[in-house]
Each structure stands twice: as structure tokens, then as C-alpha cells.
Chains A and B, each alone.
Chain A
């Protein structure tokens, strides 16, 4: 099946710092989705990307759909304590709409 490599696996940053994480795939995706999951909660959609090269922002979050359609990046600017959580990328491949593949997550912890 399709593989999604998400990095870094975890990161500690200081409040106010910018954060970058990325996902790479062994195959082409038509859609990239970025989710955040807080402890004890379900994933919440942050940003959806539908076109290669697309750059989309949601507040302090910016995500890009890679030109090759095999990667995506998420940036968080000026991190705050509530940014703590696990961030998942997810890619939707060609063919059946249900084949959404998730990355293994990036655990973000913010130190004051």
C-alpha cells in the first residue's frame, strides 16, 4: 500500500518559534489534508489542499501541496502553548475516494 513518511516524529520548541513539518509519499496524491489531534480527541481538520503547488493559510498555519504531488509541508508561525498536540498529514490517492493514507504524526510540545 501507499506509504507516508512524516517528519519529524516529535519536536520541542520554545513559545514564539516557527515550526515546520513535512510528509513525503512513495506515490502521487490528489489531495493533502493536515489534521491536529489533541489528547483524548478525534483529529480536527486544519487545512485541505487540492492542487499541486497550492499554498493555503489558516491563521498562523500555512500548508503547501508539493509540485511533484508526492509531498506536503505544514508551517506554524509564532507557536503558542495551545499548539501542543499531534499533527497528522493525510493523502488521498487516485482512484477510490476512500483510500486516505495517514502519516504517523508529529508530536509538538511547546516550552514556555
Chain B
């Protein structure tokens, strides 16, 4: 079972470069999320999507952009990389259900270093 797959696993960027972190899920989940985790900290929500064509800002959206053209994919774009964006990025997805609630499943993470 693939679950939530994100690429690349590791990347080093120079200041000012751009890149896209890819995320895809095969569980037909309607909700998708991008979080970042700084060393020794919990996860902070960057952007989220409640369905194809719908995106919204989370807690720390500055410096990032997202799109959700399909249910499966939710790429995260960094336009002008800054050292403050050095972090571990996690993509996640969930299916909102009245009975079972909203259980979120995570990808394995993408380690990004901006130098």
C-alpha cells in the first residue's frame, strides 16, 4: 500500500532558487495538507486543501504556494528559497467522516536545506 508518497526525500537549495515538493496519495482522501517540522518542534501547518480546486492557508504560509488540480496530488512550491525554509516537510491526507472523524496520515518527509 503506497499511502502518501512525497518526493524528493532530500534536497539542498541555494538561496533564491525555486523548487516543488511533490505529494500524491492513493487513498482517495479529500483533504490534503503540508506541514513543516523544525528541529525539536512539532508540526506546523503551511497549506491545506479540502478538495480538488480548493486550497487555503495554514499557520505558516509565507514563502510557499500550493495547487490541487486533482484529488491525488498536492504539490508545494517554494518560489525564492530562504534559509528560514530549511526544515523537514511532511505531506498528509485524510478522509473526513462523521463516524470516524478525521484521521490524518503522513508521508515519510522531505528534508530541505537552503544554503
Contacts and interface: CB of A to CB of B under 8 A. Distances in A.
B18 to A, nearest CB: 24
A35 B35 CA distance: 14
Contacts of B31: 97-98
Contacts of A31: 101-102
Given A98-B56, A98-B58, A88 B102 contact: no
Contact of B45 (A35, A40, A98, A103): A98
Task: Report the interface size class on chain B.
Answer: 20 to 34
A30 interface: yes
B76 to A, nearest CB: 15
B74 interface: no
Task: Report the interface size class on chain A.
Answer: 20 to 34
B45 A100 contact: yes
B106 A44 contact: yes
Contacts of A104: 40-42
B109 A42 contact: yes
B89 to A, nearest CB: 10
Interface in B30-50: 31, 33, 40-45, 48, 50
B115 interface: no
B48 A88 contact: no
Contact of A48 (B33, B48, B103): B103
Interface of B: 4, 31, 33, 40-45, 48, 50, 56, 58-59, 90, 94, 96, 100-109
6 contacts: A1-B59, A43-B90, A88-B43, A97-B96, A98-B45, A100-B104
